[in-house]
Amino acid sequence: MTAPSTTNAAVRPATAAERAERAEANGGEPTLEFAQRTPYDAYVHASTLHTLQQTLSKDPGEMSFLMISQVMELYFGLVRFELRETQRLLAEDDVYGALAPLRRTVLHLDGLNAAWNALHWMTPADFNRFRNLLGEGSGFQSAMYRHLEFLLGLKTESLIRPFKRQDEVYHDLLATLHGASVWDDVIALLARQGFDLPADLLTRDFATEHEAHPAVEAAWVRIYADQGPDNHLRLLGEALTDVAERFDDWRYKHLKAVARTMGAKVGSGGSNGYAWLQRSMSRTVFPELWSARTAM
């Protein structure tokens, strides 16, 4: 038998009866004595999380910038988790089941977008007080954000090059790049559901970005024509549309945050900053879901 991890030693399952017994023994007061660290810390690792804010300057504003960046990274990871769960359910033809992780994804993206509000105070002068200390560090180098782009179908092979010296990160990204995106899985699902889609859409090189196809658009026009309550494909389309919309909101808020704090200055990561972000926003997530609306 494998010994329990010492990091989780304070986490012990409890039944409803045990909780009731503890509450009675405590007279309704919270438990204050534990043999080891609190079960909350053992589960959440809060004491570890709060050691990760290591600023490079004495400027108090840098703490906000660093911590909000870390919060966004956690949200990126959470959204990736939900999108992969969505893919698993789509592969099993569980359309209704896939709605739950997609709806959670929308809520997570709402939280991610709200995080930008915590940086509204930052002016160019505020950012400039510590910006030079960041060197070439840039959000462009977020591997987890790149996973999100790839899972949402925005594939660019060259963008994994910065991670070549981080072997595990690089190969994880490589797998996501060459794997099917959520949209590829949706297209495969539609084909299995009997929609007439070209075979080359199902066997294409997934490392390249999907190009909008009239047959996929026509399938969505047909799906939306059925307004019945049991049309789970239409519900899927709306959930995916919500995801794409919230992701676009994040890209727009990123663009405006850059404009607000540094204008059109050269980006820390070597790009032309604002102009680079403007170009990236022109790429559409789940394109046929949007174009089909013209024909509905």
Question: Mean of the pLDDT values across residues 224-251?
Answer: 96
Quote the DSSP letter at residue 35. S
Task: State yes or no: pLDDT of 2 exceeds 50.
Answer: no
According to CATH, what is the number of the domain 60-138+180-295?
1.20.58.480
Binding site feature residues for substrate? 131
The token pair at 181 is 């995106």
User: What is d(CA 172, CA 9) in angstroms, rounded to the nearest whole number?
Assistant: 30
Residue 294, CA distances (Å) to 29, 217, 221, 237 in order: 60, 10, 9, 15
Binding site feature residues? 131, 254
DSSP annotation string for 70-111: HHHHHHHHHHHHHHHHHHHHHHTT-HHHHHHHHHHHHHHHHH
pLDDT 10s digits, 262-280: 877 665 655 556 676 677 7
Binned at pLDDT 50, 70 and 90, residue 282 comes out as confident
Question: Mean of the pLDDT values across residues 44-55?
Answer: 96
> For 81-194, where are the E strands, in sequence order?
none
pTM tops 0.75, yes or no:
yes
Mark 195-229 as b/e (b = at least 16 C-beta within 10 Å). bebeeebeeeebeeebeebeebbbbbeebbeeeee
Binding site feature residues for heme? 254
Tokens 């490392």 belong to 207
State residue 266's pLDDT score. Answer: 63
CB atoms within 10 A of CB 162: 20
> How do the domains of the chain map onto residue ranges?
60-138+180-295
pLDDT 10s digits, 156-167: 999 899 999 999
Quote the DSSP letter at residue 248. H
CA angle at 76 for the pair 122 and 253, rounded to the nearest 5°: 35
pLDDT 10s digits, 173-182: 999 999 999 9
